[in-house]
A = this chain, B = another copy of it.
């Protein structure tokens, strides 16, 4: 195991000595509401973040984005000849409703049992302030920030970052760099640090068919067209009962795990049995062992029915032929699939099978992203996590979830990784009683000290 340098050790000591200050700084930011979905407190929170950045010595400013809350952007010069680390966070938080389920006020951050409760204590203000404090610890203990830092903190991540793509397209040169630290870092259920190097993409569509102006009495069932049956007939051309997706060319760009990635899939903590328990589900579509099931989970694109509605959905009987039906589907995409390409193939599919009466509406579209395990950012994150934890982190070449990471990996060509943060399963992000564990907060700061000292 690599041991920390004297510079890092001094910064760690500083951080340990300032635990209560670091907690107060987080509380200050959490006390400022900033709910993007409800347009609450965004301006004030952006200004607070800018001030904190400026106090650290960054060249920090507000960047107006038309139709969106201001972004905060800060730059810091590293040592000469240094690499450039792009850092991404967001200062907005989820709504707090249902308020009655909170045990303490969401905007009055409260310590209980070694945890800090409040909206945004983790997602994403805890991560943001941990990064501030890592820089402060290094600077105030005689160390120095090695990389150039370019830091973007946006204000509408919790409503799907609708302006991020446009912003990035217009600011490509500003955001050039050698690697990007994504918004957060997670832990396994057992408490091991995790590093995530990719996300799945997502194409969310609705198939809709209306055949008439009213439901028909089902005595016309032999001659009246049934839109629910028609969508069933469409669905059976999309995926077979063995879960194989039948859309022509669907799997064309999907990549398999590399040997290096397979190594991590084997070494990481993962148990189907535990997952079944977490999900409160009777069974999963399991493969011969945990590694095979995990590989399927992370490397299989999906064609999921998220919703299906047609006709009478109440209790008992109503004898009708429905006038309309719709099915909502989300296709999770793996590297190197493209959402727009799959959308095009679905349209072709409708034509090929004669379902030209079925309307296809795209609701959202996000490309997958994956950063190589061998990349400098990935390797540095692993090194930093191991230095603090004295054990290897779990390294996920990709997670099964989706996020706008491809804007950074594809548009900016920035290897991007998640890790070195304060999150853990059970932190209730997006839910009532969001919290962090204070020990993880401090460990996160120590990991981040390593990053700012080493990248």
Binding site for B on A (CB under 8 A): 200, 202, 204, 211-214, 216-226, 228-229, 232-233, 235-236, 239, 241, 279-286, 293, 296-298, 300-302, 304-313, 316-322, 325, 327-328, 330, 332, 363-364, 399-402
Contact = CB atoms under 8 A, between A and B. Distances in A.
Q: Please tell me how many copies of the chain the complex holds.
A: 2
Contact of A241 (B233, B239, B316): B233
Nearest to A284: B223
B297 A307 contact: no
A225 B243 CA distance: 10
Contact of A281 (B225, B286, B363, B402): B225
Contacts of A220: 279, 297, 400
14 contacts: A200-B219, A214-B279, A219-B332, A219-B402, A221-B332, A222-B297, A225-B281, A229-B305, A306-B320, A307-B322, A308-B308, A312-B328, A316-B363, A317-B364
Given A204-B319, A219-B399, A321-B306, A224 B330 contact: no
B328 A284 contact: no
A211 B283 CA distance: 8
Given A204-B319, A363-B317, A218 B306 contact: yes
A211 B204 CA distance: 23
Nearest to A310: B308
Contacts of A204: 317, 319
A313 B130 CA distance: 40
Contacts of A399: 219
A-B pairs, 8 with minimum CB distance: A221-B302, A212-B281, A221-B304, A307-B311, A307-B312, A219-B400, A228-B305, A309-B313
Contacts of A319: 202, 204, 306, 330, 402
Contact of A307 (B313, B328, B363): B313
B318 A307 contact: yes
A310 to B, nearest CB: 5
A76 B400 CA distance: 79
Nearest to A303: B221
A222 to B, nearest CB: 4
